[in-house]
Amino acid sequence: MEPRDEPTDSRSRAPLGARVNSSLVMILLALVAALIYRDFARHERVVVARGDLAQDEAATVELFKRISPSVVHVDNVARQLDLNTDNVLEVRQGSGSGFVWDSDGHVVTNFHVIQNASGAWVTLADNTRLEAKLVGFDESKDVAVLKVDCPANKLKPIPLGTSYDLEVGQKVFAIGSPFELDLTLTSGIISSLGREIESVSGRPIQGVIQSDAAINPGNSGGPLLDSAGRLIGVTTAIKSPSGYSVGIGFAVPVDTVQRAVTQLIRTGKVERAGLGVSLLDDHFAARRGIRGVLIQRVTPNSAAAKAGLRGPDEAQQTLGDIIVAIDGHDVLSQNALYRVLDLHEVGDTIRLKVLRDQKTLEVSVTLQALPSTAP
């Protein structure tokens, strides 16, 4: 009987090799993990506790939390007919900022924000979007009042301050929607006071606040605040060669805004004291060497007509009266005339010095109520 070969038991040898290899792999992995952990632990940084905010930081944070619910975003829309469907569509043609004036739903913004609008929409700080109706506007001061239908508990009127007692160097804060980035806060100081800018109507806005708080397209109509969070102005314009903020921004002073808004809410319009005349352009007068304001037309039955002021006489080929002074103050341009008239109320009597046919006359005029753009 031939001897039988013993079968080779490969299973008895394979597990031994596998076990050795597995052990080596496990050891290598453990070494790699230990090296990685040691390297991570070596570079790990300890987070330092923040601690309390600086006093001025805490004040700014508190101011924003308290006042931002009063600030709104305003969309200017135009209604256009879709010729394909005959539906009327609302197309947004611009936007700006504004703020809640009172719990009755009045919202204040710049006139130029809603100029030429067919309608307007107001978005509150909580993103509630409301259709707004136009109450009235004063283009001469770049102020407009809208009204939204909204529960009073959703409206937070902005705290009202004063502008007559401001000082250069005071801290100021602007909240608005620059580039449609709503509820953006910027800060700075009052750089100057008593500036003058030209309104949409061409009439000067006096007593304007200049600040270096960043103001960009979209900020228009938003509030300028003092460090107490009170409204001291309405941001309206910037001076910049690029059209973007370079640290020179302007705001209509709140004392001016309040006078206009009060009248607009009460009557829907602003009445200003005036003469009842039309004036020739200053350039026309300058080209003819005339120093003063040249009357182009006297409105019949106006204050000027009752005082005997005259416009040009075409038959006689004579110029109209030239106003050279009011109450002893020289008037050499239309802006100078407007500045004086803005200091007076309807019913005040002023003394005009006029040139007529190369003769100087003194004329008393009792000022009448006129639309905001008329002299």
Query: Catalytic site residues?
Result: 112, 142, 220
Quickly count: other Cβ atoms within 10 Å of residue 100's Cβ: 25
Which residue's structure tokens are 């050499």?
332
CA proximity to 132, closest of 157, 158, 99 = 99
How far is it, in rounded angstroms, from Cα 330 to Cα 361?
14
225: tokens are 């605040």
Name the E strands within 83-230.
87-100, 106-109, 119-123, 129-138, 143-148, 171-176, 184-198, 204-211, 223-225
Q: How far is CA 206 from the centre of its chain?
A: 17
**Which alpha helices (H) appear in 278-333, and where do they start and end?**
282-287, 303-307
224 and 237 in contact (C-beta within 8 Å)? Answer: no
Question: Tokens standing for 310?
Answer: 């005259």
Check: CB of residue 272 under 8 Å from CB of residue 369.
yes
Alpha helices (runs of H) in the chain, residue ranges in sequence order: 10-43, 55-67, 111-114, 254-267, 282-287, 303-307, 334-341
Q: Which two tokens stand for residue 372?
A: 């905001």
